[in-house]
Chain A
Amino acid sequence: MAENIWIVQAIAISAIVTQAQRGLPFLVVRRLRTSALARDLSMWMPAGLLVILAVVNVRTSLTGSPSHIAAAATGIGLTIGLHLWRGHVGLSIAGGTVVYMLIVNLIATPGGNP
């Protein structure tokens, strides 16, 4: 089927582009490791990228109906609270997620993320 062949091509191109972006930078990093700029970046970048991932994900989850936003805000607040209190990664994630799921499934009206 012509359509299937086209989908295979689309998947192949997507996979090649994605994997090139994951793999090729490692070749460059190895060569750059001695430069002062690379040293600074490797010191500052990792934590900063985590902060960006967090901010963008939090903002994206705070969408939809008002009750969904309230559910997400509660889940995020609880996750932060648990983590500052106990500092246990698994407990913080599970606690926030379970409460979020309870609110979303039992109380809130749909309209959030897929």
Chain B
Amino acid sequence: MRIDRHDLNAAIKRSSVVWFGIASLGVAFGIYVEASGLAWWWAPTISALVFAGSFEFVLVQLLVASASLGTIAMTAALVNARHILYAGAFPLDRVEGAGAKAWSIFALTDEAYALATSRNSTGMSGAQIVMVQAGLFAAWVCGSTAGSVLGASAIPQVRGAEFSLTALFVVLAIDASRDGLDRFTGAAATFTAAMALTLAHGHALIVAMTAFVAVLAARSTTRRRRSTANG
């Protein structure tokens, strides 16, 4: 794919703050790998091959605990199951070429999904999406490497840059709610998230998203039944 300067600038402008947050979370992951007693190069290896932020911390825990491969597969399925829903809205049709599409799917993290489906992303070209994801990937792998090579002792103790990811989701949620999020959907999302945090704190994301989609499916069915009855 040809790299267009305009696309590159737009991608940097759109997501460099997020790259920064991902890199610092990557450093935290690298430090965690090193502190777990694994060789340093497992951190970039895991980050490059699995590329699933929060699950990678869980994976290292499972490795240290010598969990069975079956347990690891089940945990990966549970922690990452929310990705199943992302196919419904991620604008893969804008990404041109089989190789670029495959890359986009490989790098479909929470942050990539959020950046590519937010209100400001309607003018985002396929090339920009691919570059935003490449930046997320590079930041995550470089951060992991730096963290595991240098270790906790050598990293200057500046904490908290990963807060930018929380801020990102807050900002995009505000944009979404200003831009045609109807009251029912907003309330259902907030309510299922609150319920999931209370009932299943460790797996809040997947529990909340499953419950949310179930509510939407019920709403869609009732609505169609009603319109058939009326018509």
**A residues bordering B, Cβ < 8 Å?**
7, 9-15, 17-19, 21-23, 25-26, 28-29, 36-38, 40-42, 44-61, 71-72, 75-76, 79-80, 83-84, 89-90, 92-94, 96-97, 100-101, 104-105, 110, 112-114
Chain A: CB-nearest residue to B56: A14
From the candidates B81, B170, B216, name the one contacting A48 in the complex (CB within 8 A): B216
Q: Is the interface of A mostly helix, strand, loop or mixed?
A: helix
CB-based contact A25/B163 at 8 Å? no
Chain B neighbourhood of A110, CB < 8 A: 159
Chain B neighbourhood of A17, CB < 8 A: 73, 76-77, 80
The distance in angstroms between the C-alpha atoms of A58 and B164, with both chains bound, is 11
Please, what's the 1-or-0 string for B185-209, where 1 marks a CB less than 8 Å from any CB in chain A? 1101110111011000000110011
CB-based contact A94/B220 at 8 Å? no
Taking the nearest CB of chain B, how far is it from the CB of A31, in angstroms? 12
Q: Does B155 contact A (CB under 8 A)?
A: no
CB-based contact A97/B176 at 8 Å? no
Chain B neighbourhood of A23, CB < 8 A: 105-106
Taking the nearest CB of chain B, how far is it from the CB of A9, in angstroms? 6
Taking the nearest CB of chain B, how far is it from the CB of A39, in angstroms? 8
Chain B neighbourhood of A10, CB < 8 A: 59, 62-63, 69, 72
**B residues bordering A, Cβ < 8 Å?**
13-14, 16-18, 21, 28, 32, 38, 42, 45-46, 49-52, 55, 57, 59, 62-63, 69, 72-73, 76-77, 80-81, 83-89, 92, 105-106, 108, 110, 113-114, 117-118, 120, 157-177, 179-182, 185-186, 188-190, 192-194, 196-197, 204-205, 208-209, 212-213, 216-217, 219-221, 223-224
CB-based contact A61/B50 at 8 Å? no
The distance in angstroms between the C-alpha atoms of A104 and B162, with both chains bound, is 12
